[in-house]
Amino acid sequence: MAISTADYHHGNLRQSLLDASVALLDSEGLEALSLRRLAEQVGVSRQAPYHHFRDKQALLAAIGEQGFALLNQMLGRFTDDPAISLDERLYRAVMGYLNFALEHRALYRLMFGQTLWRSEQTRSDTDEFQRYAKDCFRQYVQLFDLLREAGELPPEENTLRLAQLLWAAMHGLAQLAADGLFVKRDDLAEIARYTLQRLR
């Protein structure tokens, strides 16, 4: 859908380009993404996107930042819900992560791939990208901290290491399920429950 000239002048072009980028990632993959293609999709000149992203790498970093912002917001709905137990919050946060990864596969691979994490440009110019990524991880650490404070974990338990172990398991499960290797999506809920039990 093309945006209007009014949209451009009111500063909405950047978000329109990001929205179009995520849609293109989901439908055609990273290889199809280019600033020229996005300009055509949103109905602006080929030079217009460069007012917001100096090159494709800057665009990808912004997409990754938005992806982590969305993931962080989604996780917060589970981790901050006082109406459910800590164990259930943790389980829902795990399933939320896995569902996000499988429903937005190309975006997920970009968020966690070498294209962004191995880029000097991304590390030096996009602090928000890493901040949102770390905020997502921190939510799991905080849940383990709450479980320890509630006496559900030993007082000497290293919650950082627990969260790292859980994140590694989630990332591995997401990749295997996405690739159709050894793990079926229908089994993820049971595997998630089992993993959390073993971590306790």
* 169 shares its domain with 82: yes
pLDDT on residue 129: 80
* 30 shares its domain with 92: no
Q: Please report, for the domain that includes residue 163, its CATH number.
A: 1.10.357.10
Residue 13 has which token pair?
A: 């072009």
CA dihedral sign of residues 126, 128, 132, 137: positive
Strand, coil or helix: what is 52?
coil
* Tens digit of each residue's pLDDT (9 = 90 or more) over 57-89: 889 989 999 999 999 999 999 998 899 999 999
Cα gap 83→72, rounded to integer Å: 19
pLDDT on residue 192: 96
* 152 shares its domain with 83: yes
Strand, coil or helix: what is 140?
helix
Confidence bin at 1 (pLDDT 50/70/90): very low
Residue in 24, 15, 112 with CA at minimum distance from that of residue 64: 112
Question: Model's pTM, two decimal places?
Answer: 0.85
* Tens digit of each residue's pLDDT (9 = 90 or more) over 156-197: 999 999 999 999 999 999 999 999 889 999 999 999 999 999
Does residue 3 surpass a pLDDT of 80? Answer: no
pLDDT on residue 37: 92
* Of 26-30, 137-141, 142-146, 154-158, the least confident: 26-30
* 47 shares its domain with 78: no
The residue ranges of DSSP E strands in 34-188, in sequence order, are: none
* 7 shares its domain with 74: no
pLDDT on residue 121: 61
* 20 shares its domain with 80: no
3-state per-residue secondary structure call for 89-119: HHHHHHHHHHHHHHHCHHHHHHHHCHHHHCC
Domain count, the chain: 2
Residue in 103, 72, 106, 94 with CA at minimum distance from that of residue 188: 94
Last residue of a domain, one of 19, 36, 53: 53
* 113 shares its domain with 133: yes
Packed helices 159-179 and 86-103: angle between N→C axes, nearest 10 degrees: 40
Does residue 148 surpass a pLDDT of 80? Answer: yes
- Which residues span the domain enclosing 92? 55-199
pLDDT on residue 9: 46
Average pLDDT rounded to a whole number, residues 4-25: 74
What backbone torsions phi and psi does residue 153 show, to the nearest 5 degrees? Answer: -130, 150
* 23 shares its domain with 94: no
pLDDT on residue 113: 86
* Tens digit of each residue's pLDDT (9 = 90 or more) over 97-132: 999 999 999 999 999 988 887 766 655 556 778 888
* 94 shares its domain with 163: yes
Q: Please report, for the domain that includes residue 27, its CATH number.
A: 1.10.10.60
* 72 shares its domain with 8: no
Does residue 40 surpass a pLDDT of 60? Answer: yes
* 21 shares its domain with 41: yes
